[in-house]
Structure 1
Amino acid sequence: MSTPRFLTLPEGVRSDRIETATGAFAVLEALPISGVPERWPAILVPGLTGSKEDFLAIMQPLAQSGRRVIAIDMRGQYETSGPEDPRAYRCPALGDDIDSLCQEISGGEPLHLVGHSFGGLVTREAVIDGRTKFASYTLMSTGPAAIVGRRERFGRVMMDELPERGVERIWNERLEPECIAAGVSDEIRAFLHKRLLANSVTGLATMAHEVLTARDRTDELAEIEVPTLVLFGEHDDGWPPESQADMAGRLDADCVVVPGAAHSPAVEAPETTAAALIRFWNLAETGYHGPF
């Protein structure tokens, strides 16, 4: 399990809430030192058991490239509340939230969209539906369809066992032992525990079902004219790196493999990840469509 580098907010990053047509969302916001963004903004969307804090290590450098950068909790995640209706946590409904957030943040201007893991499956809904103008789109550690491998097995635990066994038991029996074995500090382990307990149980179980049953929409996404980047760690244990690279080819997208990283490049290799995003965003804003 990957962990955020910081538990306290770094200088220049603040917490806030954004009101939209589909509800209120907890966010973290970073601005350039001047306080005046000179480039198009960016929105960062986390994965299934993640939160906005997963992007803390890259928010400052991204903002210092001249942008307003917003990381969010999706509905039912950590500090964003959500209903008990499972339909609210399916990809199309969550994609509607992304559209609403993007339109509120951008004020009608294009913006850069990044979706990590399950967040990639959610954000592609917003890209495909065409209601929001995106300057660029980044799929970070996201595959073309249902997740496979070790994370598939954990997803099935979340989907099948969570409603009956509860979050605390899954933490005690599965997640905390993994953290201890990985040498995660007591402080970060406490944060991860707190974050998991704050999630909607209905949301976790439904999102797990979504990530386990996602269909391949790559061909639909390829029809959308938006500069696209596929970025993943060389040791990704979610979707196999080769399947993500193949997806990049089908999308005619730029592809970046982050050395030394696994499923969470923004946590495991923040400098490399931030540099790749900034370079891609800058090129996208100039209308450059050559090799990345």
Structure 2
Amino acid sequence: MSTPRFLDLPPGVAPQKIETPLGTFAALEALPVSGVVERWPALLVPGLTGSKEDFIAVLMTLAQSGRRVVAIDLRGQYETPGPDDPDAYTCPALGADVDALSQVVGDGDPVHLVGHSFGGLVSREAVIDGLTKFASFTLMSSGPGAIEGRRAGNGRKIMEEVPVLGLEHVWHSRFEPEALANDVPDEIVEFLHKRLLTNSPTALSCMAGQVLTMHDRTEELREIEVPTLVLYGEHDDGWPPDAQSEMAAGLGAECVVVPGAAHSPAVEAPETTAAALVRFWNTAEKHYLDTRQ
């Protein structure tokens, strides 16, 4: 389970609503303290049971590199409403949302796209469809196909139990015991409870089905030739680290293993994660500009 390191927003981070042709999305926006934006923006997409708050610990460090950085809730996730139509929560449909958001956030500039876990699968759709020019793409703790291991079991339970027993049952039977076993502070437990119950049940169960059945699109992604980073914790319990390393090799992508982290590097090792992203983004921008001179 991912838990935000801080619930209080740091200076320079503010909640926003981003209007797109496909709907309005809840977001957290970080700007450099100086107010001067000199580099291309970044869009951060959370995982299945996560939200924009999972990126709180890295937002200001990323913004201080001279960028506008925006973390969002997907459609049907936490503070972004969504319909009861299951077709709204397929990876291609959510990928179209990421396209729309990227075009608004970029406002004519290429965008650095980061997808965490299920958010990586969704973001990959936006990269492959070719509708948006991305400065770079980072797969953070996200694999080539369907999720594996313990998290696959959790996904099956969500898909099976949420439509029948509801979100409150899933909280008390699964999420709350895990949080208490991990000594999560009371205020964060309260936030996690609120976040889960605010999700669209249709969205959560449909997204779980997507993460359990996604096929490998590594070859298609490689053909796009967007600078790509594969970043994951050394103890990742979602997609096996070996599978993510092999995916990086297949993509010809840079690969960063975050020491001490598991499935949520932005929460578990924010300084290391933010530094790796900033370095990668700076290199991608330099390469982009050098090839056009």
Residue of structure 1 equivalent to 2:182: 182
**Is residue 2:3 matched to residue 1:3?**
yes
Q: Which amino acid aligns with 1:270?
A: P
Ranges in structure 1 where 5+ consecutive residues have no aligned partner: none
Residue of structure 2 equivalent to 1:262: 262
Task: State the distance in 2 between where 1:56 and 1:141 align.
Answer: 17
**Is residue 2:23 matched to residue 1:17?**
no
Please give the TM-score of this superposition, normalised by the length of structure 1.
0.98
Residue of structure 1 equivalent to 2:168: 168
Task: State the distance in 1 between where 2:149 and 2:10 align.
Answer: 35
**Is residue 2:203 matched to residue 1:203?**
yes
Task: State the distance in 2 between where 1:68 and 1:266 align.
Answer: 17
Aligned sequence identity (%): 70
Task: State the distance in 1 between where 2:20 and 2:287 align.
Answer: 30
Task: State the distance in 2 between where 1:286 and 1:173 align.
Answer: 49
Residue of structure 1 equivalent to 2:229: 229
**Is residue 2:287 matched to residue 1:275?**
no
Q: Which amino acid aligns with 1:171?
A: W
Query: Contact 2:2 / 2:50 at 8 angstroms: preserved in 1?
Result: no
Please give the TM-score of this superposition, normalised by the length of structure 2.
0.98
Secondary structure of 1:161's counterpart equals: helix
Task: State the distance in 1 between where 2:173 and 2:137 align.
Answer: 37
Ranges in structure 2 where 5+ consecutive residues have no aligned partner: 289-293
Residue of structure 2 equivalent to 1:85: 85
Q: CA deviation at 1:36?
A: 2.1
Q: Which amino acid aligns with 1:91?
A: C
Q: Which amino acid aligns with 2:107?
A: G
* Greater Cα offset, 31-40 or 270-279: 31-40
Residue of structure 2 equivalent to 1:28: 28
Task: Note the alpha carbon deviations across 1:126-184, whole angstroms, 9 max, x for none.
Answer: 00001111110000000000001000000000111110111101111111011111010
Q: Which amino acid aligns with 2:142?
A: T
Task: State the distance in 1 between where 2:170 and 2:197 align.
Answer: 10
Task: Note the alpha carbon deviations across 1:245-282, whole angstroms, 9 max, x for none.
Answer: 00000000000000000000000000000000000000
Q: Which amino acid aligns with 1:125?
A: E
Task: State the distance in 2 between where 1:225 and 1:253 align.
Answer: 10
Superposed CA RMSD: 1.0
Secondary structure of 2:143's counterpart equals: coil
Task: State the distance in 1 between where 2:186 and 2:257 align.
Answer: 31
Q: CA deviation at 1:227?
A: 0.5
Residue of structure 1 equivalent to 2:97: 97
Task: State the distance in 1 between where 2:74 and 2:181 align.
Answer: 29
Task: State the distance in 1 between where 2:22 and 2:207 align.
Answer: 18
Task: State the distance in 2 between where 1:225 and 1:32 align.
Answer: 30
